[in-house]
Amino acid sequence: NCLTMAWRLFKNLSEEQQRYEKQLIFEHPAFVKLCQQLLRDARRMTRGDLVFSLHAVVHLGVPQNTLLVQTLVRVCQEKLNQLDNRCISVLATTLARMDKDKNVSALQAGLQLLVEQRISSIRDIFILQNLMKCLGKDAPVFLKKKLEMAVLREIDGLTFPNALRMFLALAAMNYCSLPILNACSKKIQENVHDAPFQQLILILETCHTLQYRNVKLFSALADYVNSTAYLWDKRQIILFLSACETLGFQPRELLGIFTEKVTEDPEFLNLKNLLIVLRVYSRLNYIPRVQKHLFFETLHSCLNKCLPQISNTELLKAVYSLGVLGYLPHHALDVLLQKDSKDELVLSDDLKEQNAVMLRCVKTCMELDSPSFTKPAFVLTENLSSLVSLNLRKAHEALTELLGGENMFRQNVRLPYKYHIDFEIRMDSDRKKVLPIAATDDHPDSRVQRLAFLFAPMSAFCLGTTHPQGKLAMKKRHLNKLGYHVILIQNKKFQEMTNEDAVEFLKGKIYSEDAFSFPEATVQDNN
């Protein structure tokens, strides 16, 4: 009782207070006597006192390699079959906190066997969650499925706190149970206003760990943070936006509000926060509609202030992020190119290729996004291969049927700047008729309209939308500059269409006025 009470008082203290109190507790002579008594009486204690004592000393920070902790672990192993479900839950919580060693691993293995036998009798979701955390990702798949079925039996009694904890329990097991996650998501959406900010971040991080994508859940969390943005510190909003970016989810309204906060008071943007903001905005392809230039000039100014302390890799990432958005930060760009000319950007092999790709993109942006760049009259292209990849076979067949033959389009085309398009077709200046490829090659005409089809994976778009993420949006913008009208297609949805629907879909894309609308203005167009 003394140890448990000490732990209850201790856990409510701040981290700094805990360090101070822990030192006082460990140095207190009564604590030493208490531990000695516990060591002597361990084998005579009741099952409840035993597991709660182990729980308390572990959470108070008594080192795991001490005789006291190791003795309690061994006695728990001896009495394992005598433990009731509540004691099993407490023991599971304790083991989840401990490092793996010989005794802990043996006790965990014994606990796993016991859970397999008793799982049908456990009706408490809280106990099931503790077991899930303890058994972790190393638990056999059949046991994870048994735990899943046990939770689903009791899912109707799920409370909001249990829904939050269940997310973490599934993450600990690295087990994506859609029925459980969907039920938890619904409960969280209904009670999102009761969630502490740190829990919101944990939910998003857990969804990323489990590869669970739920647009309704993410939208509910984003709407809540958006409606209470005045309560949160700017750094908290950055953390939330960063978690959204990891999921590929664009919280548009929140990004708009945060843009205003940046332009009003940019002083909070130290180097770390600036790099996160640039990464978020570039990957999610968010360009503010209002005060666009002020926002980018503010970021550029903050970047210039950070130049004396920024590393080469960070500088490259920052300039690359702004380049993806169509903005060229001239001063930072000059510094970067000077470093490149001196070979100062050469890094270890694991980063070499990634940095080379980013640097190439930056140089492409310098050329194509420059206000002085004019659309070329002729673009040198090359057919990479006549073979049709499996994921484009349906599109190839649909275009062949729609246009009347393979001579009416090109496939797998390589362009300058290492860009590649899946299919290209050409139309007359009135956009009424598709022209044979050979005829337009033999007699080049600047009035010929070029269409580029890009069949992109779902991961290239912001979650739940057709809004392209940064890299794809940059590619579309650059192909527009080279004289192409770009048609973006989500390949997964296209593959799900019937052949007839696929042909009609492409017909609508080719002859639609939208296919030939002018692209959105980039930041540089009006700079």
Q: Are residues 46 and 97 in the same domain?
A: yes
The predicted pLDDT at position 353 comes to 82
Q: What is the pTM of this model?
A: 0.86
DSSP string, 236-303: HHHHHHHHHHHHT---HHHHHHHHHHHHH-GGG--HHHHHHHHHHHHHTT---SSSHHHHHHHHHHHH
Strands 449-456 and 484-490 come out as: parallel
Q: Are residues 423 and 499 in the same domain?
A: yes
Q: Are residues 337 and 399 in the same domain?
A: no
The predicted pLDDT at position 356 comes to 87
Sign of CA dihedral 129, 131, 134, 135: negative
CA dist 305 and 339 (Å) reads 18
Q: Are residues 459 and 484 in the same domain?
A: yes
The alpha carbons of the chain give a radius of gyration, in whole angstroms, of 30
| Angle of helix 85-97 versus helix 102-118 axis, rounded to 10 | 150
pLDDT digits (tens, 9 = 90+) for 95-146: 988 998 999 999 999 999 999 988 988 888 999 999 998 888 888 999 999 9
pLDDT digits (tens, 9 = 90+) for 388-413: 788 899 999 999 999 999 889 999 99
Question: Does residue 305 sit within a domain?
Answer: no
Question: Does residue 255 sit within a domain?
Answer: no
CA dist 307 and 314 (Å) reads 10
Domain end: 328, 355, 373, which one? 373
Domain end: 346, 373, 400, which one? 373
Q: Does residue 210 contact residue 170 with C-beta atoms inside 8 Å?
A: yes
The predicted pLDDT at position 351 comes to 72
Q: Are residues 84 and 111 in the same domain?
A: yes
Range of the domain at 115: 1-121
CA dist 509 and 488 (Å) reads 10
pLDDT tens, the chain, 527 aa long: 888 898 888 888 888 898 898 889 889 999 999 999 999 999 999 999 999 999 999 999 999 999 999 999 999 999 999 999 999 999 999 998 899 899 999 999 999 999 998 898 888 899 999 999 888 888 899 999 999 999 999 998 889 999 999 999 999 999 999 999 999 999 999 999 988 899 999 999 999 999 999 999 999 999 999 999 888 899 999 999 999 999 999 999 999 999 999 999 899 999 999 999 999 999 999 999 888 899 999 999 999 999 999 988 899 999 999 999 999 999 999 999 888 777 766 665 667 788 888 999 999 999 999 888 887 767 777 776 667 788 899 999 999 999 999 889 999 999 999 999 999 999 888 778 888 888 776 666 677 889 999 999 999 999 999 999 999 999 999 999 999 999 999 999 999 999 999 999 999 999 876 655 444 444 544 33
Ranges of H-type helices in 119-229 = 125-135, 141-153, 160-173, 178-190, 197-210, 215-227
Q: Are residues 356 and 409 in the same domain?
A: no
Domain end: 91, 121, 151, which one? 121
